[in-house]
Chains A and B, each alone.
Chain A
Amino acid sequence: MNALTGNSLKISRVNIVSKKFQRHSHSGNSVTLKSPNTSVNFQPIRAAITGAADSGETHSTVLPTESARDQLRSDMAASPDVKDGRIAGISAAIRVIPDFPKPGILFQDITTLLLDPKAFKDTIDLFVERYKDKNISVVAGIEARGFIFGPPIALAIGAKFVPMRKPNKLPGEVISEEYSLEYGTDKMEMHVGAVQAGERALVIDDLIATGGTLCAAISLLERVGVHVVECACVIELEYLKDGGGAAIRGEESAAEGGRRVGTG
């Protein structure tokens, strides 16, 4: 678990349960997840800056290489989204709660974003602008905060909304994917028949830390022949300047309205 005290960061190795993903260890300990079904160029997912916000995922991280961090910083600076004035408003609307759900974690609370109609609308608009011409027919939202952002996007782009739920919430026939938590595992479920083979999907959640939950969602969709075009999160946790953080490369990830905590 990431327990940030001053500038030190406790880390441990990432443990991914899903067999569909191969783990590659590069020099410098960065970890890549590759889905065997896609040949997409993966963008790095930037990671924990101040101790990962909790979303039920494992907070285990590995140290990125110096060059990987520099590349990411220049990627971020080059992103046109960062320059969009709406991003600042979105970022400012997110509240940080220390020591929730447990000591050492700085929780990124999006409920204050939802209380700001302009910032909430800007968040949705940014995603809709990005996805509306990508022929996406499915928006899959991860319980529970993905349920808040997914439906407005789905409605605006003409897609269906598919809830990805904790076990035993969905009635009728489901498929399940187990994924790793810091201690133990959890399961994500999707309705059988919700999506068809060949459909193009977007996966949405409020925050990405290690990517474990998003990987489970990708798995579920790919298992039924869906093409996951992108994963989108409001908040993407960032590298620590002085060197800690998760370097998990996953499916293309767009951190719209990225919350920059601490380092620029």
Chain B
Amino acid sequence: MFAGENGLHGDPRLKAISEAIRVVPHFPKPGIMFQDITTLLLDHKAFKSTVDIFVDRYRHMNISAVAGVEARGFMFGPPIALAIGAKFVPLRKPGKLPGGVISEEYVLEYGTDCLEMHVEAVQPGERVMVIDDLVATGGTLSAAISLLERVGAEVVECACVIGLPEVKGHCKLNGKPLYVLVEPRQ
């Protein structure tokens, strides 16, 4: 669900967040209008608003872990985790996490990729939220949900700053709800 249609209708912070995001055409390849959140990170007020909106939503949901998808999920996840008193769990590309990991393969436009998590990062029954900067097809988030469910955690919600319009019709990933702040800019 989009924040502007659910509880934050008319919230000026959403407009500021949207305007702080830069569009870079034809990156990483022709035809793609890349939604660049680095300009949001340069705008302290807008970055803080982003984190505040997520914190306000999740602080009373008894969430004990925030799982962030490498690498841009690492920028939004920790501030949220710290504010709600949860642990932060990095979900990483293969080979980066030392020690015992579990892996989940997922489909890309061409080929596959893999997401890894430390086996003991979350316990069965823990309530977890997953965060990334942007959701397009939901493939990465689905892999994240899988990893967490495989160790018995309960994924309460997935959260993204930006959501492509396609997700509107499919607000659930593997049956899990999705919460998005803004749509992509043109």
Q: What residues of A have a CB within 8 angstroms of the CB of B118 in the complex?
A: 111
Select which of B38, B41, B85, B99 is within 8 A of A100 by beta carbon.
B99
Min CB–CB distance B102 → chain A (angstroms)? 14
User: Known interface pairs A162-B41, A194-B38. Does A144 touch B28 (Cβ–Cβ under 8 Å)?
Assistant: no
A residues near B, CB below 8 A?
Answer: 95, 97, 100-101, 107, 109, 111, 114-117, 120-121, 124, 143-144, 147-152, 154-155, 158-163, 165, 168-172, 191, 194
**Chain B 86-126: CB-based contact to A (< 8 A → 1; otherwise 0):** 11111010011111000000000000000000100100000
- Can you identify 17 A-B contacts, CB atoms within 8 angstroms? A101-B95, A109-B99, A111-B121, A114-B81, A115-B88, A117-B82, A117-B85, A120-B81, A120-B88, A124-B82, A147-B75, A148-B90, A160-B41, A160-B42, A161-B41, A163-B38, A194-B38
Select which of A97, A111, A159, A170 is within 8 A of B38 by beta carbon.
A170
Q: What residues of A have a CB within 8 angstroms of the CB of B61 in the complex?
A: none
- B36 contacts chain A at the CB level, 8 A cutoff: yes
Min CB–CB distance A3 → chain B (angstroms)? 18
- B22 contacts chain A at the CB level, 8 A cutoff: yes
Interchain pairs with CB closer than 8 A, number:
105
Q: What residues of A have a CB within 8 angstroms of the CB of B87 in the complex?
A: 114-117, 120
Secondary structure call for the B interface: mixed
Interface size on B, residues (CB 8 A): 38
Min CB–CB distance B41 → chain A (angstroms)? 4
Query: Does B78 contact A148, Cβ atoms closer than 8 Å?
Result: yes
- B60 contacts chain A at the CB level, 8 A cutoff: no
Query: Does A191 contact B74, Cβ atoms closer than 8 Å?
Result: no
Closest chain B residue to A138 by CB distance? B42
Closest chain A residue to B66 by CB distance? A114
- B4 contacts chain A at the CB level, 8 A cutoff: no
Query: Does A151 contact B41, Cβ atoms closer than 8 Å?
Result: yes
Q: What residues of B have a CB within 8 angstroms of the CB of A162 in the complex?
A: 38, 41-42
Q: What residues of A have a CB within 8 angstroms of the CB of B86 in the complex?
A: 117
User: Known interface pairs A100-B98, A114-B87, A114-B88. Does A171 touch B70 (Cβ–Cβ under 8 Å)?
Assistant: no
- B139 contacts chain A at the CB level, 8 A cutoff: no
Closest chain B residue to A98 by CB distance? B98
Q: What residues of B have a CB within 8 angstroms of the CB of A155 in the complex?
A: 44, 47-48, 51, 79
Q: What residues of A have a CB within 8 angstroms of the CB of B95 in the complex?
A: 101
Closest chain B residue to A97 by CB distance? B98
Q: What residues of B have a CB within 8 angstroms of the CB of A121 in the complex?
A: 82
Min CB–CB distance B99 → chain A (angstroms)? 5
Query: Does B78 contact A152, Cβ atoms closer than 8 Å?
Result: yes
- B56 contacts chain A at the CB level, 8 A cutoff: no
Give the distance in Å from the alpha carbon of A151 to the alpha carbon of B77 in the complex. Answer: 10
Closest chain B residue to A100 by CB distance? B98
